Copies of this chain bind each other. A is one copy, B any other.
Amino acid sequence: MAPQVQIIGVAGMRDVRPGDDLAALILEAVRGQGADIEDGDVLVVTQKIVSKAEDRLVDLRQVEPSTRAQEMAARMGKDARLLEVILRESRRIVRQEGGVIICETKHGFVCANAGVDTSNVGGGVVSLLPENPDESAERIRAAIQQEKAGASVAVIISDTFGRPWREGHTNVAIGVAGMRPVKDYVGETDPHGYVLRVSTMAVADELAAAAELVMEKLSRVPVAIVRGFDYQRAEGSARELIRPRERDLFR
């Protein structure tokens, strides 16, 4: 039979607050729409609600910008306190031009503003990426598996990143638990006996992108269930998706 995958948006979650039990809120919302989490599901959770639950929020009014942040802010016409937060989250500035600042975060992700985000938070407060998104994913996974005894699920924490060469943003995986984030075709041959040129697919990123199709930014769908995708069960980590600097021609 033809393979089939379903992407189910999880709506109806209330605003997440610091200290909330995300797994419980997600399960409640899933069940509230008459569904449930099933064995083999991949749960894609947007970074924003994870950061809120983990209190990764910074009130800009309490930030003292460094001299470097002040200089950059003046040059870029930006808020020095915001730049201070971005610099604190960064291991390195990869590119900076005009109003755009591409950072390598402490996790090793390359993205605009080191993932520091002013939207969907409110009141001069910005959100940071989770400190350890793999651990965030694992906590949700473990809690759901405990509640759903016997079910094996994978969890992906997703964020919206830009990329070089192509317009528009896509969702990618910044945290992974319960699955291998890549799928290898190494040494496999196609039906003509040729060794496949493309050997590794970033399936966790493709799952995050697929989930975004039901995650309308304005309609409060912060979680999606991807059902029917045959992933490889493993501990998993989004670190496998970060290209080491020495193998990267663009860093």
Contacts and interface: CB of A to CB of B under 8 A. Distances in A.
| Residue of A167, A182, A250 with most chain B CB atoms under a 10 A cut-off | A167
Contacts of A33: 1-2
A128 to B, nearest CB: 14
B4 A8 contact: yes
How many copies of this kind of chain does the complex include?
Answer: 2
Contacts of A6: 4-7
Interface stretch (A19-27, A54-62, A139-147, A200-208): A200-208
Given A7-B5, A191-B120, A192-B120, A243 B198 contact: no
B243 A164 contact: yes
Contacts of A5: 6-7, 210, 213-214
Chain A binding surface SS class: loop
B251 A185 contact: no
A130 interface: no
Interface stretch (A64-72, A83-91, A149-157, A168-176): A168-176
A213 B205 contact: no
Contacts of A202: 166-170
A122 to B, nearest CB: 4
Query: Which residue of A163, A212, A216 has the most chain B CB atoms within 10 A of its CB atom?
Result: A163
Contact of A221 (B3, B121, B229): B3
Contacts of A53: none
A105 to B, nearest CB: 11
A220 B190 CA distance: 9
Interface string A178-194: 00011001001011111
A102 interface: yes
B196 A217 contact: yes
A2 B7 contact: no
Contacts of A210: 5, 7, 206, 209-210, 213
A234 interface: no
The 10 closest A-B pairs by CB, nearest first: A168-B202, A164-B250, A210-B210, A122-B192, A209-B209, A206-B209, A110-B165, A3-B9, A3-B214, A5-B7
